[in-house]
Structure 1
Amino acid sequence: MKVGFIGTGSMGSLLVNAFVRSGALEASDIVVANRTQAKAERLASAYPGMFAAATNRELIQQCDCLFLCIKPSEFKTVLQELRPWAREDQIVVSITSPILIQQLEDQLPCRIAKVIPSITSGVLSGVSLCMFGSRMAVADCCLLEGLLSHISEPLLIDEQYTRVVSDLSSCGPAFMAFLAQRLVDAAVEVTGIDPDEAVAITSAMLLGTGKLLTEGGMTPKELIQRVSVPGGITQQGLQLLRQETDGVFQKLIRTTHDKYREDLEKVQAALYGEEVNGP
């Protein structure tokens, strides 16, 4: 099976690297293309046997399955390039959340899926959110889930919950890293601890916390209860955090949803010349 990747930016190259490193795909099974061809050639040169296509037409003509790893604003042009050469037996996977499955089914005759990966796939961890279009057969879904299972845990979701689940799985690593960096910065400012040492300690703590919440079978509430002794230091810190962050995460979710809605409307206008009425 030949698998193509249109877009070799941050997430496109991450997926290519993860699939090869995990053994899910051989380099010779992969075709890559990018708006700036030199970028695709640079990625392909790192893996003997991988092919950098000169055009999206060249890529789609070679591939059984292709991932669209591009920005929402690029979809109209890319879909126009692919449409004359797209086949009904091909699987096309978008990794861009504001692109709806129905929109892709309207534009291409292919079997359509949407997958929202995470930066955690780079270390073969985390989840990949999976949504399947009406033309995807059971065998197609199993094939795609099997591929993704090498680099993550595939999780089937309803498309209407794309944004909120993406907040947790895909944006979440950046949000948690932001909080970790703020904790490190405060520790350095208040105590003078070496920044590199603080980062190392915090990173090891996050790794252990993640294991407790997965392998250890704890829920976040249970972990808090185990660490927070009544009248202790952790409890005092938690009381402050509750006060200072009251309402912050609700605002965060609303902010990401507002941006998602804005992007949905822009894509809908570009493809159909009208505003979106979807999720």
Structure 2
Amino acid sequence: MIAGGIQMIIGFIGAGSMGTILIEAFIESGTVPPAHIIVSNRSPEKTRTLARKNAGLVTGTNIDVAHAADVLFLCTKPLDYRTVLDEIQHCLTPDKLLLSITSSVGVQQLEAYTPCKVARVIPSITNTALSGAALVTFGSRLCVTDRSELLTLLSAISVPIEIEEQNTRISSDIVSCGPAFFSFLLQRFIDSAVSETAITEEQATRLMTEMVVGLGRLLEDGRFSLPTLQARVCVPGGVTGIGLHVLDRETQHVFEHLIQATHRKFDVDILEVKEMFADKKNSFH
């Protein structure tokens, strides 16, 4: 790493939603110049679009990316990991750092299948704005310097937070899925406001957007915690208290049910990934 940027080559296999978010965030942050990024994708049109938007960005095959990259983000679907790893296996030397961005593929599985250094980084759409968290789980082969350099890289686009393996799903529910969950709830609030009152959708959306931005800033600067903010707004006998009573009654179990549902899906994904890696004949020994 060097101040104001990096000298290593960052590779991305897969330029879907999260891959593109990471690529564009690193470029926008100024940490990684386009010429230090190499990308491959099943559909070449996506890589051509990225290259047109970011002069100097390099595109190639999966093998080209794996060969050139010092740090390699694997941004494919989880059940494509085995196929991609088999394809690039001969490029994954012990000095390279392989990063999974999916919750269902663990670092121990990847360490058992490759000789390189491994970590998992779960990004969030909030990283598009160079903010929000990125979840990090380190493999056993990273030294102190490796860990520090990865955290420095991620700090350019996020607040990297190290998590334990057993907390992967719930942490991802909050950080990665959370923006969609709460966007859904906010839209429900807007839709109900339009349905129940004379306010227009445009007006309600603008008010909601400004409220959310302001709320985020209050929490960011540490002026309030969630409980103290509620206490400050909710005066005895006031309208806010009536609304909170309704929310408490109507949403009492909604997040328990949400977490149970996401974990059931996660358990299925974990089993599918285990089956994918069950055949060890091509694995690293």
- Normalised TM-score (structure 1): 0.95
Distance in 1, Cα, partners of 2:124 & 2:58 = 25
Q: Which residue of structure 2 aligns with residue 99 of structure 1?
A: 105
Matches within 5 A, 1:20-169: 20-53=27-60, 55-169=61-175
The alpha carbon displacement at 1:273 in A equals 5.4
**2:165 counterpart letter in structure 1:** E
Q: Contact 1:64–1:90 (CA<8 Å) still a contact in 2?
A: yes
5+ residue gaps, structure 1, are 275-279
Q: Deviations over 1:6-55 (max 9, x none)?
A: 110111001100000001100000000001122112212211111111x2
Q: Which residue of structure 2 aligns with residue 269 of structure 1?
A: 275
Bigger CA drift: 14-23 or 203-212? 203-212
Selected match of 2:225 from 219, 231, 255: 219
Q: Which residue of structure 1 aligns with residue 249 of structure 2?
A: 243
Q: Deviations over 1:115-162 (max 9, x none)?
A: 111000000110111110000111111111101101110111111101
| Percent of pairs with identical residues | 44
The alpha carbon displacement at 1:202 in A equals 0.2
Q: Contact 1:32–1:44 (CA<8 Å) still a contact in 2?
A: no
| Structure 1 residue 185 corresponds to structure 2 residue 169 | no
Q: Which residue of structure 2 aligns with residue 171 of structure 1?
A: 177
Q: Contact 1:4–1:67 (CA<8 Å) still a contact in 2?
A: yes
Tell me the SS of whatever aligns to 1:170.
Answer: helix
The alpha carbon displacement at 1:235 in A equals 0.3
CA distance change for structure 1 residues 42 and 236 in 2, over 3 Å: closer, same or farther?
same
Distance in 2, Cα, partners of 1:240 & 1:85 = 58
Structure 1 outlier segments of 4+, above 3 Å: none
Tell me the SS of whatever aligns to 2:119.
Answer: strand
Tell me the SS of whatever aligns to 1:92.
Answer: strand
Distance in 2, Cα, partners of 1:3 & 1:208 = 35
Q: Contact 1:115–1:131 (CA<8 Å) still a contact in 2?
A: yes
Tell me the SS of whatever aligns to 2:211.
Answer: helix
**1:43 counterpart letter in structure 2:** L
5+ residue gaps, structure 2, are 1-7, 281-285
The alpha carbon displacement at 1:60 in A equals 0.8
Distance in 2, Cα, partners of 1:73 & 1:156 = 25
- Normalised TM-score (structure 2): 0.94
Q: Which residue of structure 1 aligns with residue 239 of structure 2?
A: 233
Distance in 1, Cα, partners of 2:75 & 2:149 = 19
Q: Which residue of structure 1 aligns with residue 18 of structure 2?
A: 11
Q: Aligned pair count?
A: 273
Q: Contact 1:33–1:56 (CA<8 Å) still a contact in 2?
A: yes
Q: Deviations over 1:211-251 (max 9, x none)?
A: 11221332111111111111100000000111111111101
Distance in 1, Cα, partners of 2:198 & 2:72 = 50
Q: Deviations over 1:60-117 (max 9, x none)?
A: 1111111011111111111111112211000010111100101111111110000111
Distance in 1, Cα, partners of 2:215 & 2:203 = 18
